[in-house]
Amino acid sequence: SVDLVEKNYVYGNPKHEVSVYVKVFTNSPFLLCTDLAHSREELIDPNYLWIGPDGRNLEGQLHVNLTETGKLMLLGFKEYMSGAYTCTLSHKIIETTTQEEREMFEAYKFMVYAYREADHAYQVFVRFTTRECELRANGQFFEELLKILTNIISDLTCHITESSYKCHSVKIPNRGLLHELFVSFQVNPFAPGWEEVCKQVPYDCEDVTNMRVQEARDRIGEFFKKQTYALKHEFQTVPTIHYVENSFSVTHIDSCRPGFGKNDVTHQSCANCCVVCEPGTYSPNNEVTCQVCTDPQVRMYGARFC
């Protein structure tokens, strides 16, 4: 569990390991080589020994900021830095009457995981009334609709994918049988050229692509809202194929970059994050789960292949 986080500090817990999630390319909070109880006590001759996931002493290593009071910050966090960070705190207790010295030891373990924000895309459903299902104009209308929508969002390096439509007959109370086109498509932020955008902001690429795809979703929503207005106020005769009022709906879809996945059981306190795949698991694509790898050689964090 993520234990007490205070002013960018995370305390250890002598009873169990503490999970910490660090966004890639950022610095971790300070991991404290103490627990809350000890932090409020006087410590005589304290000594702190931090060991990284590779079993080596962290003192003097380039990617760490280690203070003399045992606080550890991991700098510019990357996938491969994930793993177990352990600290041993040793200090003396001096008996008041005899002045006898005793050495005490406490061990703290932090499981530190790299994570990314999930990439967002949107699944859109919308309906149009048509005269009949066999109408040749239905297909032309669908192609034309996609062109218009693509045009609306093209400057955002977002595009329309997985587009399809089906015609169904629908019985509506008090109006008899109507024919409707059920249109569905996805809006995603990975149109050709999106990598260029990410080169300008490599650290927060997901934040930028997510902002853009949200803007694309809003523009498309606005377009369909205008259809309702136009039908009511601008047409003398209703067109053969026209928008069904309030039929526009959007579902949010998450995906993770290769080497990352979601797991709300293992990573409850970062359930919406794309957390680095643990050793023995991998993710080769933009799915949201890390798959188990049967090859015992794959013992690294963030594996993309097995």
Which three-class secondary structure string do you get for 189-239?
CCCCCHHHHHHHCCCCHHHHHHHHHHHHHHHHHHHHHHHHHHHHHCCCCCC
Distance CA 300, CA 291 (A): 14
| Model pLDDT, residue 236 | 63
87: which 2 tokens? 């600290």
Pick the CATH number of 5-116 from 2.60.40.10, 3.30.2350.10, 2.40.50.140, 2.40.50.100: 2.60.40.10
| Model pLDDT, residue 202 | 59
What residues does 185 pair with on adjacent strands? 124
End-to-end CA distance of the chain: 29
Q: CB neighbours (10 Å) of residue 171?
A: 8
Whether 180 and 244 have beta carbons less than 8 Å apart is answered as yes
Domain ranges of the chain: 5-116, 119-253, 256-306
Tens digit of pLDDT per residue, the chain (306 long)? 344 455 689 999 999 999 999 999 899 999 999 988 888 888 889 999 999 999 999 998 989 999 999 999 999 999 999 999 999 999 888 887 788 888 889 999 999 999 998 989 999 999 999 999 998 899 999 999 999 999 999 999 899 999 999 999 998 888 788 999 999 999 998 888 888 877 776 566 788 889 999 999 999 999 999 887 776 666 666 678 889 989 999 999 998 989 999 998 889 889 889 999 999 999 998 888 999 988 777 789 999 988
Residues 6+ apart with CB under 8 A from 180: 127, 128, 129, 130, 167, 168, 169, 170, 244
| Model pLDDT, residue 227 | 85
| Model pLDDT, residue 203 | 65
Task: Using a cut of 0.85, tell me whether the model's pTM lies above it.
Answer: no
Whether 74 and 87 have beta carbons less than 8 Å apart is answered as no
What residues does 83 pair with on adjacent strands? 112
Distance CA 176, CA 59 (A): 78
Q: How big, in percent rounded to 5, are the helix, strand and coil portions of the chain?
A: 20, 35, 40
| Model pLDDT, residue 238 | 65
